[in-house]
Structure 1
């Protein structure tokens, strides 16, 4: 027996050490508290330049800088969230956009240049909505078509997208992104802190905390929102047309399994529009640019159900089917 123990002593030693390590790991795991990740702070860098497009207050309590790519699927999915949050906290929160087209997206850089050119005509945010809503069609001819949809001076736009001025602006954004370590899109920086979150609720919670810490007001104006119990049916719906005379004809937008048909229109104030759900499932139409109070909650349409209303708000209005990535837009001009 003694000889057996001596001969196998190394095995016993290894076994004892293994047991000690295993027990230690269990003890440490039971006594370790959750440690929050160290969020990276961007210091000694101006994140907003003279060519950066911003929305929100001039002197915000909180600034949210987005590095994004118009051809990035994740950016498109998160874009409606940013629009909603910036609108919800518009008194205290400023949203700033920096271009960071990724090399694997062949049309992203030209789209970024086009967006900067649109901004020179005061149409950056409207044009950005069009780009995200039509992410699969971002070639040069498409970009020119969207400029027309947005009501821009198309001939000037054509010159601008060939102008090195706007290409240089995009390059400047990319240099800054690389300098501060941006390596994916969207990257969001809240008051110079690179954000980390697992879902939309966590994202909004961080925004709320930043606003609170800056002495802002997080109470949203919910006066125009509609609860599920208040949703109106097509037959009972009565719209305030604000003195605008509705058109005699109706433009129809069908929703099919492939999305809205047509999905981009240029219409005029007073035009009547009808949504028709031509699928066998219930759909929810959600507005991205908030202009109509009866769309503050998604408009639910059953199979073959219709909803008709009159365009009473000028400029770009965008919408999507809430459960999938099907987008649409209407640019509303004041004159024919």
Structure 2
């Protein structure tokens, strides 16, 4: 056996070992996530959580979501398509995950003020569409977020009064406690009926929801 072939076989063997290790690690991580989700089922959905879709849908998609997160914005069209595909079977529950700190917190406050005015979904779309304009730290970024919100129909004066009551701060603090208990470390993180999404591929989210819709449809 010549040296070049030996080196090639050694490299191939090393790659196979590496690939197997990655697979086992990912499987273990998914198993741990599923276990933690079952142990923290009460922390997965709270009464205060925004819901898109019918309230009694048998399939619940929980998204740990940061409005300032580019990946959350990228996933959002797929999430909407899933809700259109399964209008009576699936609902989306949003848990706020303010990993981008000041900009995230301000956007959450705007979203909750909009929800109080019955404008949550249009405001969510507006903030995601204009995400690049308002993400970042400082007063200027915050002002841009509020300008987008006002253009999307938010009554800013009512919104600021709603935020001043402090209920949004309490809600956000609970969401942060819950995401830490569940072990969420990145956004978006999805669970479908408590089952964690194992991939960053939006298509896999559709597959997971579809399998849950089919499963609950077969239940007696």
Indicate whether the TM-score tops 0.5.
yes
Give the whole-Å Cα distance in 2 for the aligned partners of 1:53 and 1:198: 23
**Against the structure 1 CA distance between its residues 160 and 140, is the aligned structure 2 distance closer, same or farther, given a 3 Å change threshold?**
farther
Equivalent position SS for 2:131:
coil
Which structure has more RCO (C-alpha within 8 Å, separation ≥ 6)?
2
Q: Aligned residue for 1:270?
A: none
Q: Do the aligned residues in 1 keep the contact of 2:197 with 2:204 (CA within 8 Å)?
A: no
Gapped regions of structure 2 (runs ≥ 5) = 1-9, 135-140
Q: Do the aligned residues in 2 keep the contact of 1:101 with 1:109 (CA within 8 Å)?
A: yes
Among candidates 167, 171, 174, match of residue 172 of structure 1: 174
Q: CA deviation at 1:143?
A: 3.1
Q: CA deviation at 1:148?
A: 2.5
Q: How many residues align?
A: 188
Q: Which has the higher helix share?
A: 2
Q: CA deviation at 1:200?
A: 2.5
What RMSD in Å do the two structures reach over aligned CA positions? 2.4
Q: Which has the higher strand share?
A: 1
Q: Do the aligned residues in 2 keep the contact of 1:72 with 1:105 (CA within 8 Å)?
A: no
Equivalent position SS for 1:97:
strand
Q: Aligned residue for 1:111?
A: 107
Gapped regions of structure 1 (runs ≥ 5) = 1-21, 217-336
Q: Do the aligned residues in 1 keep the contact of 2:68 with 2:103 (CA within 8 Å)?
A: yes
Among candidates 129, 139, 145, match of residue 125 of structure 2: 129
TM-score normalized by the length of structure 2: 0.76
TM-score normalized by the length of structure 1: 0.51
Among candidates 90, 95, 98, match of residue 93 of structure 1: 90
Q: Do the aligned residues in 2 keep the contact of 1:144 with 1:157 (CA within 8 Å)?
A: no
Q: Equivalent residues in 2 for 1:1-336 (5 A)? A: 37-38=27-28, 39=30, 40-41=33-34, 42-43=37-38, 44-46=40-42, 47-102=44-99, 104-138=100-134, 139-215=141-217
Q: CA deviation at 1:179?
A: 0.9
Runs of 4+ that moved beyond 6 A: none
**Against the structure 1 CA distance between its residues 60 and 208, is the aligned structure 2 distance closer, same or farther, given a 3 Å change threshold?**
same
Give the whole-Å Cα distance in 1 for the aligned partners of 2:70 and 2:57: 29
Q: Do the aligned residues in 2 keep the contact of 1:65 with 1:96 (CA within 8 Å)?
A: yes
